Amino acid sequence: MANIAYWNLKKMKTTKKYILHESDMPKFWYNIVADMPNKPMPMLNSQTKQPLQPDDMEAIFAHELVRQEFSAERYIPIPEEVFDLYKIYRPTPLVRASGLEKALDTPAKIYFKNESVSPVGSHKLNSALPQVYFNKIQGIKHLTTETGAGQWGTALSIAGQHFGLDVKVYMVRISYEQKPYRKMVMRTYGAEVIPSPSLTTEAGRKILAETPDTPGSLGTAISEAVETALHSPDTRYALGSTLNHVGLHQTIVGLEAEKQMEIAGDYPDIVIGCFGGGSNFSGIAFPFLRHKFTEGKDVRAIAAEPASCPKLTHGIFQYDYGDAIGFTPMIPMYTLGHDFTPASIHAGGLRYHGAGALVSQLRRDGFVEAVDVDQIETFKAGVLFARNEGIIPAPESAHAIAVAIREALKAKEEGTEKVILFNLSGHGLIDIASYEQYFCNELQNYQPSANEINESVSKLDKLL
């Protein structure tokens, strides 16, 4: 037994996870509208083109959610019933990515907030629970929604079950076909799952008539879900990203992380979130941007988006619809156009055409940076993380990991001890088929362009 190093209190190594107790969980969500220097431009009523009024939204969304959407209060209290259900998985751990740091041989300290411990495997439950709750107290019986990769639909399904509301999920057809496990999870939670576009709505029938072979898109699925909600007085629609109230609910992620970073004795130089509609990025970044606005703290907030759906890096800031058909109000945002349909090989989430009003305004004003990451770099980063931290990240989250790795390698070159924090928005166990695709097909068939074989990829290759 001479060569076995037994555990010794005196030389206990770095703490791996920073844990909060349930009683330490934030009692309020943080609303960045209160502090941002330039307020977002108003949404417009799609018919009148006049600034949207709360009443315009109440046929679609629960009253309290509309109130939050227009609110400028700094802190909005978390209802007790939501707080009690948050306790199923919250507070989530803040983890020091010591295995990844070692693999990268970087002087940077890398932390991640582990939202994958939620029973549905992602951060989406943070908003699903309050959304269902606020519908329930208003007497709503049925909810409709859309889902792309499946994380939002999964979260809303169990949230509906917890509060006794029926949930109908329009799932982007290509995901419905490629991700059978996702629909099975939603059904186990008691939801009805319909591939979109479908024949159950006018919007779906119209799109199928024009493009029968369409793989579907989030924009189309939203159209179907909103139309269904509009046709019944005790039905409302629930959205998993983009809107202000969704990002608001997600700020519990950053508010917890703030307390945990304090316990760790560090403050992040860089905060990174992957970017689809903005909910998980807002959740981790807004509470830290608050310190930038109120105390002048120096923190970089970076949105990591897929090269295949690059609205923040390559889109245009303009008014656009949130859905494909034009049911929704017009939102002032970076967009690729509301009829954007991502290539069907990409079914890993983050495929929404627009960026949300708050993040778009912050990006316009220079408070948010954005970078795009291609699929190869994303999966290489995901595999490197999995093999060194144990957790297989959701393909979405792997975009944030890729950017964290870029920054950690930059810190190594510069010899600076940067503190990097990213949001591990979810695990990839139900999306493992996309890793298999990466292993089996992508690497063999992929013909990379000069641009795509970037420095980070070749560095990653040496590490894998």
Residue from 50, 181, 365, 461 in contact with a copy of itself (CB under 8 A): 181
Beta carbon nearer to a copy of itself, 343 or 440: 440
User: Which candidate, 93, 100, 98, 83, places its Cα nearest to that of 115?
Assistant: 93
In the stretch 87-116, what mask flags binding to a copy of itself with x, by CB under 8 A?
xxx---------x-----------------
Beta carbon nearer to a copy of itself, 83 or 176: 83
Q: Is 224 exposed, middle or buried (0-12, 13-18, 19+ CB in 10 A)?
A: buried
Q: Which two tokens stand for residue 156?
A: 């809303």
User: Which candidate, 81, 66, 191, 57, places its Cα nearest to that of 133?
Assistant: 81
CB of 454 to a copy of itself, least distance (A): 23
Q: Is 137 in the site for a copy of itself (CB under 8 A)?
A: yes
Q: Is 390 in the site for a copy of itself (CB under 8 A)?
A: yes
Residue from 185, 289, 370, 402 in contact with a copy of itself (CB under 8 A): 185
Sheet of 235-237: strand order equals: 192-196, 166-172, 142-147, 235-237
Q: Is 433 in the site for a copy of itself (CB under 8 A)?
A: yes
Which one of 81-89, 225-233, 236-244, 413-421 is the stretch in contact with a copy of itself (CB under 8 A)? 81-89
d(CA 156, CA 166): 10
Beta strand pairing status for 368-373 and 94-96? unpaired
Which regions of 106-244 does DSSP assign to beta strands (E)? Answer: 109-114, 142-147, 166-172, 192-196, 235-237
Residue the block writes with tokens 């699903």:
128
Q: Is 245 in the site for a copy of itself (CB under 8 A)?
A: no
Which one of 74-82, 140-148, 229-237, 289-297 is the stretch in contact with a copy of itself (CB under 8 A)? 74-82
Contacts of 3 (CB under 8 A, 6+ apart): none
Q: Is 161 in the site for a copy of itself (CB under 8 A)?
A: yes
Residue from 109, 113, 124, 162 in contact with a copy of itself (CB under 8 A): 162
CB of 200 to a copy of itself, least distance (A): 21
CB 423 within 8 A of CB 112: yes
Q: Is 233 in the site for a copy of itself (CB under 8 A)?
A: no
Residue 222: CB atoms within 10 Å:
29
Beta carbon nearer to a copy of itself, 87 or 314: 87
Q: Is 7 in the site for a copy of itself (CB under 8 A)?
A: yes
Q: Is 8 in the site for a copy of itself (CB under 8 A)?
A: yes
Residue from 141, 387, 410, 459 in contact with a copy of itself (CB under 8 A): 387
CB of 305 to a copy of itself, least distance (A): 23
Angle in degrees, 0-180, between the axes of helices 125-136 and 63-70, rounded to the nearest 10: 120
Phi, psi of 264 (to 5 degrees): -70, -15
Q: Is 272 in the site for a copy of itself (CB under 8 A)?
A: no
Beta bridge partners of 76: 29
Q: How many residues contact a copy of itself, by CB under 8 A?
A: 63
Q: Which two tokens stand for residue 358?
A: 């708050």
CB of 438 to a copy of itself, least distance (A): 9
Q: Is 263 in the site for a copy of itself (CB under 8 A)?
A: no
Q: Is 72 in the site for a copy of itself (CB under 8 A)?
A: no
What does each C-alpha distance from 184 to 245, 400, 430 come to in angstroms?
28, 27, 10
Beta strand pairing status for 109-114 and 142-147? unpaired
Give the footprint of a copy of itself on this chain (CB under 8 A): 1, 3-8, 11-13, 15-17, 19, 21-23, 27, 64, 77-81, 83-84, 87-89, 99, 117, 119-121, 125, 134, 137, 158, 161-162, 180-181, 184-185, 187-190, 383, 386-387, 389-392, 427, 429-430, 432-433, 435-436, 439
